[in-house]
Amino acid sequence: MFQKILIANRGEIAVRLIHACHDLGVEGVAVYSEADDHAPFVRMADDAALIGPPPPAESYLKAEAIIQAALDMGAEAIHPGYGFLAENAAFAQAVQDAGLTFIGPPPAAIAAMGDKAEARRRMEAAGVPITPGYQGKDDDRALADAARRIGFPVLVKAAAGGGGKGMRVVWREEELAEAMAAARREARHAFGDDRLIVEKFVPRAHHVEFQILADVHGHAVHLFERECSVQRRYQKIIEETPSPLLDSDLRARMGAAAVAAAQAVGYVNAGTVEFIVDPETRAFYFLEMNTRLQVEHPITEMVTGLDLAQWQIRIAAGEPFPYPQHALAQQGHALECRVYAEDPASGFLPSTGDLLLTRFPQGPGIRVDAGVIAGGAITHHYDPLIAKIIVHAEDRNAAIRRMIYALQQTAIHGVTTNIDFLLAVLQHPDFRAGRADTKWVDREMAGWQPEMTPDDLTLAALALSDVLVSAAPAQAPSQPAGPDPYSPWQSPH
Spatial strand order in the sheet of 366-370: 284-290, 269-277, 206-214, 220-232, 235-241, 333-340, 385-393, 366-370
* Spatial separation of the C-alpha atoms in residues 472 and 439, rounded to whole Å: 47
Q: What number is the average pLDDT over the span 37-55?
A: 97
Query: Is the N-terminal amide bond of 473 cis, ω within 30° of 0?
Result: no
Check residue 429 and give its pLDDT. 97
Among 37-51, 159-173, 455-469, the range of highest mean pLDDT: 37-51
Check residue 45 and give its pLDDT. 98
Name the band, by pLDDT with cuts 50, 70 and 90, for residue 61. Answer: very high
Check residue 451 and give its pLDDT. 85
Check residue 413 and give its pLDDT. 96
Check residue 160 and give its pLDDT. 83
Q: Which secondary structure element, helix H or strand E, spans residue 97, and what is its range?
A: helix 89-97
Quickly list DSSP for 104-153. Answer: SS-HHHHHHHHSHHHHHHHHHHTT--B-SEE-SS-SHHHHHHHHHHH-SS
Check residue 190 and give its pLDDT. 81
On whether the CB atoms of residues 48 and 10 are closer than 8 A, the answer is no
304: Cα within 13 Å, side-chain hemisphere:
26
Residue 292 annotated as catalytic:
yes
Which residues lie closer than 8 Å to 488 by C-beta, 6 or more apart? none
Nearest 5°: the CA angle 238, 41, 26 is 105
Check residue 79 and give its pLDDT. 98
Q: What number is the average pLDDT over the span 305-321?
A: 98
Kindly report which listed range (228-237, 332-341, 362-371, 444-453) carries the lowest average pLDDT score.
Answer: 444-453
Tell me: pLDDT of 17 over 70.
Answer: yes
DSSP 59: T
* Cβ contacts of 119-123, under 8 Å, gap ≥ 24: 119/286, 119/288, 119/289, 120/197, 120/286, 122/261, 122/264, 122/265, 123/261, 123/264, 123/286
Q: What number is the average pLDDT over the span 126-151?
A: 92
476's torsion region: left (phi>0), alpha (psi -120 to 50) or beta?
Answer: beta
Q: What number is the average pLDDT over the span 404-433?
A: 97
Check residue 462 and give its pLDDT. 59
* Spatial separation of the C-alpha atoms in residues 52 and 439, rounded to whole Å: 39
Q: What number is the average pLDDT over the span 334-344?
A: 97
Q: Render the burial of 435-445: b for 16+ CB within 10 Å, e for the rest.
A: bbbbbbbeebb
Task: Check residues 44 and 483 and name the one with the higher pLDDT.
Answer: 44
Q: Where are the domains of the chain?
A: 4-103, 132-200, 206-444
Check residue 484 and give its pLDDT. 42
Name the band, by pLDDT with cuts 50, 70 and 90, for residue 486. Answer: very low
Name the band, by pLDDT with cuts 50, 70 and 90, for residue 464. Answer: low
10, 122, 251, 292: the active-site residue: 292
Q: What number is the average pLDDT over the span 378-385?
A: 94
Name the band, by pLDDT with cuts 50, 70 and 90, for residue 476. Answer: very low
Tell me: pLDDT of 437 over 80.
Answer: yes
Q: How would you classify the pairing of strands 167-170 and 206-214?
A: unpaired
Quick one: CA dihedral 454, 456, 459, 465, positive or negative? negative
Name the band, by pLDDT with cuts 50, 70 and 90, for residue 116. Answer: confident
Tell me: pLDDT of 297 over 70.
Answer: yes
Q: What number is the average pLDDT over the span 358-369?
A: 97
* Spatial separation of the C-alpha atoms in residues 135 and 190, rounded to whole Å: 20
Written out in words, the top-level CATH class of the domain with range 206-444 is alpha beta
Q: What number is the average pLDDT over the span 91-113?
A: 97
Quick one: CA dihedral 258, 260, 264, 270, positive or negative? positive
Tell me: pLDDT of 479 over 90.
Answer: no
**CA 331 vs CA 116, 247, 255, 262: distances in Å:** 34, 15, 17, 25
* Spatial separation of the C-alpha atoms in residues 248 and 329, rounded to whole Å: 12
Burial of 334 (0-12, 13-18, 19+ CB in 10 A): buried
**Average model confidence (pLDDT) across the chain:** 91
Q: What is the dihedral of CA 259, 260, 265, 266, to 10 degrees?
A: 60
Tell me: pLDDT of 474 over 70.
Answer: no
77: Cα within 13 Å, side-chain hemisphere:
24
Check residue 470 and give its pLDDT. 54
Tell me: pLDDT of 469 over 90.
Answer: no
Tell me: pLDDT of 327 over 70.
Answer: yes
Tell me: pLDDT of 478 over 50.
Answer: no
Name the band, by pLDDT with cuts 50, 70 and 90, for residue 467. Answer: low
Check residue 477 and give its pLDDT. 39
For the segment 203-213, what is each residue's pLDDT rounded down to a tens digit?
Answer: 899 999 999 99
Strand partners, 358: 412
Check residue 487 and give its pLDDT. 35
Name the band, by pLDDT with cuts 50, 70 and 90, for residue 163. Answer: low
Name the band, by pLDDT with cuts 50, 70 and 90, for residue 480. Answer: very low
On whether the CB atoms of residues 213 and 267 are closer than 8 A, the answer is no
On whether the CB atoms of residues 231 and 251 are closer than 8 A, the answer is no
Query: Is the N-terminal amide bond of 153 cis, ω within 30° of 0?
Result: yes
Name the band, by pLDDT with cuts 50, 70 and 90, for residue 174. Answer: very high
SS3 489: helix
The CATH number of the domain covering residues in 4-103 = 3.40.50.20
**CA 206 vs CA 69, 99, 181, 280, 402: distances in Å:** 42, 42, 27, 11, 24
Q: How many CB atoms lie within 10 A of CB 97?
A: 10
Tell me: pLDDT of 142 over 90.
Answer: yes
Tell me: pLDDT of 22 over 70.
Answer: yes
Among 287-291, 390-394, 476-480, the range of highest mean pLDDT: 390-394
Tell me: pLDDT of 482 over 50.
Answer: no
Measured in residues, the chain has a length of: 493
Q: What number is the average pLDDT over the span 340-344?
A: 96
Q: How would you classify the pairing of strands 284-290 and 333-340?
A: unpaired
Name the band, by pLDDT with cuts 50, 70 and 90, for residue 192. Answer: confident
Q: What is the dihedral of CA 205, 277, 149, 186, to 10 degrees?
A: 60
On whether the CB atoms of residues 410 and 361 are closer than 8 A, the answer is yes
The CATH number of the domain covering residues in 132-200 = 3.30.1490.20
Name the band, by pLDDT with cuts 50, 70 and 90, for residue 485. Answer: very low
